[in-house]
Structure 1
Amino acid sequence: MPRHHDLPRQDEQTVSIGSLLAIIRPIFRHHWPRLLGGFVALVVVDFLQLLIPRFVKSAVDGLSSGIATPQLLLRLSLLVCLVAILVAVLRFTWRFLIIGFSRILEKKLRDRLFDHILRMDQPFFERWTIGDLMAHASNDLATVQMACGMGLVATVDALVMSSAALGFMVAISAKLTLIALLPMPVLIVCTRILSGRLHHRFNLVQEQFSLLTEFARATLVSIRLIKAYTLERFQEQRFAALGETYVRGNLKVATIQGLLFPIATLVGNVGMLLLLYYGGALVIEGRITIGSFVAFVSYLYMLIWPMMAVGWVANLVQRGITSLRRIHRVLDQQPVVSVGPTIPLPGGAQYLYSCRNLGFTYAGASHPALAGINLEIGPGLLGMTGRTGSGKSTLCKLLLRLYPVPDGMLFFQGVDVNHLSQADIRERIAYVGQEPVVFADTIAANIAFGRPEATMEEIEAAARAAAIDGEIRAFNEGYQSMIGERGVKLSGGQRQRLALARALLCDRPMLIIDDALSAIDVETEQQVIRGILSRLAGKSVLLISHRVNVLRHAERIVLLDQGRIVDQGRHEQLLIHSFYRVMVEKQRGDA
Structure 2
Amino acid sequence: MTSSESEQNHPQTKPSLAVLLTLLKPIYARYRSRLLLGFLALLAVDFLQLTIPLYLKEAVDVLENGTATSQGLLRLGGFLLLTAAAILALRFSWRMLIIGFSRRMEADLRARLFSHILTMDRSFFDQHPPGDIMAHASNDLSAVQMASGMGMVAAADALVISGAALVLMISLSPFLTLMAILPLPLLGFSAWFLSGRLHTRFDQVQHSFGLITEFARNSMVAIRLIKGYTREQQQIKAFSELGEKYVAANLRVAVVQGLLFPVAILVGNLGMLLILYYGGRLVINEVITLGAFVAFVHYLYMLIWPMMAVGWVTNIAQRGFTSLARIHRLLAARSRLESSLQVSEQSKVGGKDFSARFLVDPLISLRGLSYSYTGARVPALTGLELDLRPGILGIAGRTGAGKSTLCRLLTRQYPLQDGMLFFADQEVNTLAPSLIRDQISYVSQNPVLFSSTIAENISLAAPDASPKEIEAVAELAGLHAEILAMERGYQTRIGERGLRLSGGQKQRLAIARALLADRPVLIIDDALSALDVETEQQVFAGIRARAAGKIVLIVSHRLKLLSGTDQVLLLDQGRVVALDRHEQLLQQHDAFYQAMAQKQQRRAS
Higher mean displacement: 236-245 or 93-102: 236-245
State the Cα distance separating 1:10 from its structure 2 match: 3.1
User: Using the alignment, how far apart are the partners of 2:379 and 2:583 within structure 1?
Assistant: 30
Partner of 1:166: 166
Q: Deviations over 1:200-231 (max 9, x none)?
A: 11111111111111111111111112112221
Q: Secondary structure at the match of 1:7?
A: helix
Residue type of the alignment partner of 2:589: H
User: Using the alignment, how far apart are the partners of 2:181 and 2:552 within structure 1?
Assistant: 80
Partner of 2:18: 18
Residue type of the alignment partner of 1:359: S
State the Cα distance separating 1:350 from its structure 2 match: 3.5
Residue type of the alignment partner of 1:590: R
Q: Secondary structure at the match of 1:366?
A: coil
Indicate if the aligned counterparts of 2:6 and 2:374 stay in contact, CA closer than 8 A: no
Instruction: Pick one of 425, 433, 438 that aligns with 2:436.
Output: 425
User: Using the alignment, how far apart are the partners of 1:96 and 1:112 within structure 2?
Assistant: 24
State the Cα distance separating 1:430 from its structure 2 match: 0.3
Instruction: Pick one of 510, 514, 526 that aligns with 1:499.
Output: 510
State the Cα distance separating 1:132 from its structure 2 match: 1.2
Partner of 1:577: 589
With over 3 angstroms needed to count, the CA separation of the structure-2 counterparts of 1:5 and 1:177, relative to structure 1, is closer
Residue type of the alignment partner of 2:143: T
* Residue 250 (structure 1) aligned with residue 250 (structure 2): yes
Q: Secondary structure at the match of 1:358?
A: strand
Indicate if the aligned counterparts of 2:368 and 2:385 stay in contact, CA closer than 8 A: yes
Partner of 1:588: 601
* Residue 397 (structure 1) aligned with residue 398 (structure 2): no
1:8-157 alignment runs, 5 A limit: 8=7, 9-13=10-14, 15-157=15-157
Residue type of the alignment partner of 1:170: I
Please, what TM-score do these two structures have when normalized by structure 2? Answer: 0.95
Q: Secondary structure at the match of 1:355?
A: strand
User: Using the alignment, how far apart are the partners of 1:276 and 1:590 within structure 2?
Assistant: 96
Indicate if the aligned counterparts of 2:447 and 2:507 stay in contact, CA closer than 8 A: yes
User: Using the alignment, how far apart are the partners of 1:59 and 1:134 within structure 2?
Assistant: 58
User: Using the alignment, how far apart are the partners of 1:454 and 1:395 within structure 2?
Assistant: 30
Q: Deviations over 1:451-510 (max 9, x none)?
A: 222222211111111110111111111111121222121111111000001111111111
Higher mean displacement: 139-148 or 200-209: 200-209
* Residue 275 (structure 1) aligned with residue 275 (structure 2): yes
Partner of 1:456: 467
Higher mean displacement: 418-427 or 379-388: 379-388
State the Cα distance separating 1:590 from its structure 2 match: 2.5
User: Using the alignment, how far apart are the partners of 1:246 and 1:253 within structure 2?
Assistant: 11
Indicate if the aligned counterparts of 1:54 and 1:295 stay in contact, CA closer than 8 A: yes
Q: Secondary structure at the match of 1:297?
A: helix
Structure 1 residue runs of 5 or longer lacking an equivalent are none
State the Cα distance separating 1:398 from its structure 2 match: 0.7
Size of the aligned set, in residue pairs, is: 589
User: Using the alignment, how far apart are the partners of 1:301 and 1:271 within structure 2?
Assistant: 10
Please, what TM-score do these two structures have when normalized by structure 1? Answer: 0.97
Higher mean displacement: 45-54 or 550-559: 550-559
Indicate if the aligned counterparts of 2:338 and 2:432 stay in contact, CA closer than 8 A: no
Q: Secondary structure at the match of 1:546?
A: coil
Higher mean displacement: 482-491 or 25-34: 482-491
State the Cα distance separating 1:336 from its structure 2 match: 2.4
Q: Secondary structure at the match of 2:384?
A: strand
Indicate if the aligned counterparts of 1:4 and 1:404 stay in contact, CA closer than 8 A: no
* Residue 383 (structure 1) aligned with residue 394 (structure 2): yes
User: Using the alignment, how far apart are the partners of 2:131 and 2:21 within structure 1?
Assistant: 25
Residue type of the alignment partner of 2:65: S
Partner of 2:490: 479
Higher mean displacement: 424-433 or 180-189: 180-189
* Residue 545 (structure 1) aligned with residue 546 (structure 2): no
State the Cα distance separating 1:58 from its structure 2 match: 1.1
Indicate if the aligned counterparts of 1:3 and 1:360 stay in contact, CA closer than 8 A: no
State the Cα distance separating 1:565 from its structure 2 match: 1.2
Runs ≥4 residues deviating over 6 A: none
User: Using the alignment, how far apart are the partners of 2:45 and 2:80 within structure 1?
Assistant: 13
* Residue 436 (structure 1) aligned with residue 447 (structure 2): yes
State the Cα distance separating 1:12 from its structure 2 match: 4.5
Residue type of the alignment partner of 1:577: H
Q: Deviations over 1:10-65 (max 9, x none)?
A: 3343x211111111111111111111000000000000011111111111111111
Q: Deviations over 1:357-406 (max 9, x none)?
A: 21112222222211121111221212221222111111111101111111
Q: Deviations over 1:100-145 (max 9, x none)?
A: 1111111111111111111111111111122111111111110011
Partner of 1:216: 216
State the Cα distance separating 1:4 from its structure 2 match: 7.0
Higher mean displacement: 418-427 or 542-551: 542-551
Indicate if the aligned counterparts of 1:350 and 1:539 stay in contact, CA closer than 8 A: no
User: Using the alignment, how far apart are the partners of 2:2 and 2:174 within structure 1?
Assistant: 71
* Residue 374 (structure 1) aligned with residue 376 (structure 2): no
* Residue 226 (structure 1) aligned with residue 226 (structure 2): yes
User: Using the alignment, how far apart are the partners of 1:4 and 1:264 within structure 2?
Assistant: 47
Q: Secondary structure at the match of 1:44?
A: helix
1:300-379 alignment runs, 5 A limit: 300-340=300-340, 341-342=343-344, 343=346, 344-345=350-351, 346=354, 347-348=356-357, 349-379=360-390
Indicate if the aligned counterparts of 1:12 and 1:326 stay in contact, CA closer than 8 A: no
User: Using the alignment, how far apart are the partners of 1:443 and 1:4 within structure 2?
Assistant: 41
Q: Secondary structure at the match of 1:374?
A: strand
User: Using the alignment, how far apart are the partners of 1:339 and 1:413 within structure 2?
Assistant: 18
Residue type of the alignment partner of 1:354: S
State the Cα distance separating 1:331 from its structure 2 match: 1.2
Indicate if the aligned counterparts of 1:350 and 1:540 stay in contact, CA closer than 8 A: no
Residue type of the alignment partner of 1:329: R
User: Using the alignment, how far apart are the partners of 1:585 and 1:203 within structure 2?
Assistant: 57
User: Using the alignment, how far apart are the partners of 1:195 and 1:586 within structure 2?
Assistant: 66
1:254-269 alignment runs, 5 A limit: 254-269=254-269
Partner of 2:533: 522
RMSD: 1.4
Higher mean displacement: 550-559 or 196-205: 550-559
User: Using the alignment, how far apart are the partners of 1:375 and 1:225 within structure 2?
Assistant: 40
User: Using the alignment, how far apart are the partners of 1:212 and 1:316 within structure 2?
Assistant: 23
State the Cα distance separating 1:3 from its structure 2 match: 5.1
Higher mean displacement: 160-169 or 530-539: 530-539
Q: Secondary structure at the match of 2:415?
A: coil
State the Cα distance separating 1:338 from its structure 2 match: 4.7
Q: Deviations over 1:299-338 (max 9, x none)?
A: 1111110110011111111111111111111111111235
Residue type of the alignment partner of 2:437: R
State the Cα distance separating 1:175 from its structure 2 match: 1.2
Instruction: Pick one of 477, 484, 498 that aligns with 1:466.
Output: 477
Indicate if the aligned counterparts of 1:140 and 1:323 stay in contact, CA closer than 8 A: yes
Residue type of the alignment partner of 1:520: L
Indicate if the aligned counterparts of 1:176 and 1:275 stay in contact, CA closer than 8 A: yes
Q: Secondary structure at the match of 1:171?
A: helix
Q: Deviations over 1:184-211 (max 9, x none)?
A: 1111111111111111111111111111
Structure 2 residue runs of 5 or longer lacking an equivalent are none
Residue type of the alignment partner of 1:16: S
